[in-house]
């Protein structure tokens, strides 16, 4: 891990897919004026690059090479996040259920995780970093002053994803989404490398019955209790 990773405060937000990590992480980072690391996007991008370059998802060496040399840009266009892979806008392509499933397979491979580890830790620069993923608190930033494990019931996560797809004009079966989420949870928790689990010193927060603003407020309060994370707008 680089020296900068130990100098800047880091808030890690881990948890299963559909728990709201992406939205919550973005909003907390915006409120604090901190940087944001969407680690899941890196695995999705590796899987996307594999499809583009005809690299099989069980080719560990080939995938590790792709991960180490990803030509990626994270941009903001009209206030919305935009992800570019080799000059191509893949923002929507990497957010499909199929892309998430492929990313989960790729993330289970140790050579890929090793290839991405340094790249992820280098995101920790002043004034601070919100790191969203599945092993941010357990592997990438074990010294983070605040670690959150964000979760929600599988049924609620499937409902949220179903609503999100409907709003995007995509037809999807709620029962199929639930099965996909349950299968991904099992794969992520049972993998031998960096399995999905809370860090020993993480705070678990169940968002099943919480609103997005409630979760954002809770996390910024927890940071403030530790004397870090004052918003740029705060006196």
Residues 125-177 pLDDT 10s: 999 999 999 899 999 999 999 999 999 999 999 999 899 888 878 888 999 99
**pLDDT value of residue 79:** 67
In a 10 Å sphere around its CB, with 0-12 CB exposed, 13-18 middle and 19+ buried, how is residue 28 labelled? Answer: buried
pLDDT confidence tier of residue 225, bands split at 50, 70 and 90: very high
- Establish whether 16 is an annotated binding residue: yes
Listed in order, strand segments (DSSP E) in 49-145 are: 72-77, 80-85, 88-89, 129-133
What DSSP element (H or E) covers 13? Answer: strand 10-14
Tell me how far apart the alpha carbons of residues 43 and 108 are, in angstroms, rounded to a whole number. Answer: 10
Q: Angle 154-167/174-190 helices, nearest 10 degrees?
A: 130
User: Is position 19 annotated in a ligand binding site?
Assistant: yes
Closest CA to 91 of 33, 22, 180: 22
- Asked if the structure places residue 201 within a domain, the reply is yes
Q: Hey, which residues does 132 pair with through a beta bridge?
A: 13, 38
Residue 214's Cα: distance from chain center in Å? 20
Q: How many domains does the chain have?
A: 1
Q: Tell me whether residue 20 is in a domain.
A: yes
- Give the domain CATH number at 184: 3.40.50.300
What is the C-alpha separation between 107 and 45, in angstroms, rounded?
11
Instruction: Indicate the pLDDT class of residue 229, thresholds 50, 70 and 90.
Output: low
Q: Are 14 and 134 in contact (CB under 8 A)?
A: yes
Task: Yes or no: say if 43 and 169 are a contact pair by the CB < 8 Å rule.
Answer: no
State the average pLDDT over residues 204-211: 94
What is the spatial distance between Cα 213 and Cα 17, in angstroms, rounded to a whole number?
A: 19
pLDDT for 2 equals 42
What's the average model confidence in pLDDT over 91-100?
88
Mean pLDDT of the chain: 89
231 found inside a domain: no
User: Does residue 3 carry a pLDDT above 70?
Assistant: no
Separation between Cα atoms, residue 71 and residue 164, nearest integer Å: 29
The answer to whether residue 113 is domain-embedded is yes
Question: Is 169 domain-assigned?
Answer: yes
Task: Give pLDDT tens digits for 19-76.
Answer: 999 899 999 999 999 999 989 899 999 999 999 999 999 999 999 999 999 998 887 6
Quote the domain boundaries for residue 142.
3-224
The answer to the question of residue 234 being in a domain is no
Rg, Å, the chain Cα set: 17
Q: What is the DSSP letter of 94?
A: G
Residue 217 pLDDT: 96
Is residue 224 scored above 90 in pLDDT? yes
Please indicate, yes or no, if residue 78 is contained in any of the structural domains. Answer: yes
Picking from 41, 68, 42, 46, the residue whose alpha carbon sits closest to that of residue 56 is 46
- Looking at residue 194, its pLDDT comes to 80
Task: Find how far residue 133's CA is from the centre of its chain.
Answer: 3
Task: Supply the pTM of this predicted model.
Answer: 0.81
pLDDT tens digit sequence for 104-132 = 899 889 999 999 998 898 889 999 999 99
How far apart CA 180 and CA 96 sit, in angstroms, is 12
46 is annotated as contributing to ligand binding: no
User: Do the domain assignments include residue 86?
Assistant: yes
21 is in an annotated binding site: yes
Tokens of 121: 């830790």
Is the pLDDT at 231 greater than 70, yes or no?
A: no
Does 126 count as an annotated binding residue? no
- Residue 17 annotated as part of some ligand binding site: yes
**202 three-class SS:** coil
């Amino acid at each position: 891990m680089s020296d900068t990773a130990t100098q800047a405060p880091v808030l890690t937000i881990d948890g299963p897919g559909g728990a709201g990590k992406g939205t919550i992480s973005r909003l907390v980072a915006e409120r604090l004026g901190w940087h944001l690391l969407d680690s899941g996007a890196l695995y999705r991008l590796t899987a996307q690059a594999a499809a583009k370059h005809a690299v099989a998802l069980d080719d560990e060496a080939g995938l590790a090479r792709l991960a180490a040399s990803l030509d990626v840009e994270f941009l903001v266009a009209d206030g919305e996040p935009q992800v570019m892979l080799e000059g191509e806008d893949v923002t929507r392509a990497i957010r499909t259920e199929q892309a998430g499933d492929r990313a989960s397979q790729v993330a289970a491979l140790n050579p890929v995780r090793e290839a991405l580890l340094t790249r992820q830790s280098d995101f920790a620069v002043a004034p601070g970093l919100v790191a969203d993923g599945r092993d941010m608190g357990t592997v990438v930033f074990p010294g983070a002053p605040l670690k959150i494990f964000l979760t929600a019931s599988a049924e609620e996560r499937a409902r949220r994803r179903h609503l999100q797809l409907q709003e995007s004009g995509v037809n999807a079966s709620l029962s199929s989404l639930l099965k996909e989420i349950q299968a991904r949870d099992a794969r992520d928790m049972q993998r031998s490398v960096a399995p999905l689990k809370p860090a020993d010193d993480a705070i678990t927060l169940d968002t099943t019955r919480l609103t997005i603003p409630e979760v954002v407020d809770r996390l910024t309060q927890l940071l403030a209790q530790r004397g870090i994370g004052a918003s740029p707008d705060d006196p």
